[in-house]
Amino acid sequence: MTGLFTRLRRLRAARAQAGPSRAGFAKRASALGRRSAMAARCGASVVRCFGSLSFGSPALATRSVRAFSVATLSVGVLSLTLSLSATPARAACSGTDLRQAIPAALQAEIDAELARTPYAHGLSWIATRGTRRLHIIGTMHLNDPRHDALVAHMTPALEAADALLVEINETDKAAMTKTLADRPAMVFITEGPTLIDRIPPQDWARIADLAQAAGIPAFMAAKMRPWFLGMSLAVPRCARAIPDVTEGLDMQLLRVAAAAGVPALSLEDPLSLFRTLNEPPIEEQIEELRSYITLMRVGPDDFYTMLESYFEGEVQAYALLQLKQYLAADLPTPVAKRQAQIDAAMADLLYDRNRAWIPVIDSTPGDLLVVAVGAAHLPGEAGVLALLEAEGYTIEEAPL
């Protein structure tokens, strides 16, 4: 997976050079075949779902962390995958809460680390500095009826706010959708052999089975860029059948803001991640894809546990559980290398993005702002809350 982390380092450098931006994204135009254009529009129409790819992401390092990334970290890539399913409507994800079977020793490790982690528990916070007040909510980008209580909790502050800050607003999302429709090659193989002809038959058979299990037709999986296919397989079939699946908390808060006439501003340009993941040659992407075939599947129990953890305000605890289990797994990659990969991914796709958002938040005019970002961005020494505290804000939890 060397190539992934090389790309993440490139993304960090690109962000450092470009700086934070809320501007709309430039239009792209290119000549497209009808079939490719239709496929791209199908995918781009669901660029709505989760929250910030840290997406982000250890997502490619372990199936469990991919499940975590899917719901709390990236609006762009993740929601795009949800349009690719052939899954019929049925009940949403259910399963067993994996936290019920955590060994006592592992639970003690997690508890000790949580005790050292700033802002490890909770979803809703208030940050104050002088006359300035920020209402901060950790979002999940999948629809769930339990969001109703969170929307009701945030509505009074949002209706009185000077602005709502989200990872990507409706205008920029539309521009991103247009770009992806105009440039399907950002996520699909539009020229040359598809993955069926590029991957050894035995490996392709395993990947095709995983795709079918995730609700993605094998013929469509064959046309997907390898990095995009790997992330798409992080979304279990049951999640694709959730009614109005892309109507996550951020989308619902955007509607409240629009009804109240409150401007909604983007914290970043989501297309930078697409560009970075597409930089390496497709052969390198394929080699990465083949290297983690055994870690691709995310089961209903993983996903159910992630959802329950989110609504209990225990996103950090769930993340620690998945990371520790990944490090303890019997895999050929040395533990030290796995830890280094996790550290690099978390820095590039989560913590550096957090740091880039702080000046955007700070430069937004108004004494009352609402900030709604993927819940995984909030906790930790490099989380949004601790970074705001370092800028002179006083942070207090706003109980739900």
Q: Give the single-character DSSP code of 186.
A: G
Residue 397 lies in a domain: no
113-117, 128-132, 344-348: segment of lowest average pLDDT: 344-348
Instruction: Name residues whose C-beta falls within 8 Å of residue 110's C-beta, 6 or more positions apart in sequence.
Output: 102, 317, 320, 321, 324
Q: Does residue 3 surpass a pLDDT of 60?
A: no
Distance from C-alpha of 185 to C-alpha of 37, rounded to nearest angstrom: 10
Q: Does residue 195 surpass a pLDDT of 90?
A: yes
Mean pLDDT across the stretch 265-292?
81
Residue 141 lies in a domain: no
Confidence tier at 69 by pLDDT (50, 70, 90): very low
Q: What per-residue confidence (pLDDT) applies to 271?
A: 85
- In angstroms, what CA-CA distances link 53 with 175, 292, 349? 19, 19, 6
The count of domains in the chain is 1
How do residues 34-49 score in pLDDT, each as one tens digit? Answer: 333 323 322 322 222 2
Instruction: Name residues whose C-beta falls within 8 Å of residue 45's C-beta, 6 or more positions apart in sequence.
Output: 83, 177
Mean pLDDT across the stretch 239-248?
78
Residue 400 lies in a domain: no
Structure tokens at 225: 């860029």
Distance from C-alpha of 329 to C-alpha of 174, rounded to nearest angstrom: 41
Confidence tier at 291 by pLDDT (50, 70, 90): low
Residue 27 lies in a domain: yes
Residue 371 lies in a domain: no
**How confident is the prediction for the chain on average, in pLDDT?**
78
1-5, 283-287, 327-331, 364-368: segment of lowest average pLDDT: 1-5
Q: Does residue 56 surpass a pLDDT of 50?
A: no
Instruction: Determine the structural domain holding residue 81 and report its residue range.
Output: 2-120+172-242+271-365
How do residues 121-143 score in pLDDT, each as one tens digit? Answer: 999 999 999 999 999 999 988 88
Mean pLDDT across the stretch 272-293?
78
pLDDT greater at residue 85 or residue 128? 128
pLDDT greater at residue 116 or residue 300? 116
Nearest to 71 by CA among 89, 90, 57: 57
Confidence tier at 274 by pLDDT (50, 70, 90): confident
* Ramachandran bin of 165, using left for φ above 0, alpha for ψ from -120 to 50, beta for the remaining angles: beta
pLDDT greater at residue 280 or residue 297? 280
Residue 319 lies in a domain: yes
Q: What per-residue confidence (pLDDT) applies to 100?
A: 92
Q: Work out the number of other CB atoms within 10 angstroms of the CB of residue 42.
A: 15
Residue 98 lies in a domain: yes
Structure tokens at 310: 């989110």
75-79, 88-92, 118-122, 379-383: segment of lowest average pLDDT: 88-92
Strand partners, 138: 373
Residue 101 lies in a domain: yes
- 290 — phi, psi (to 5°)? -65, -30
Instruction: Name residues whose C-beta falls within 8 Å of residue 360's C-beta, 6 or more positions apart in sequence.
Output: 20, 21, 22, 165, 265, 267, 268
Q: What per-residue confidence (pLDDT) applies to 245?
A: 74
Q: Could you tell me the pTM of the whole model?
A: 0.78
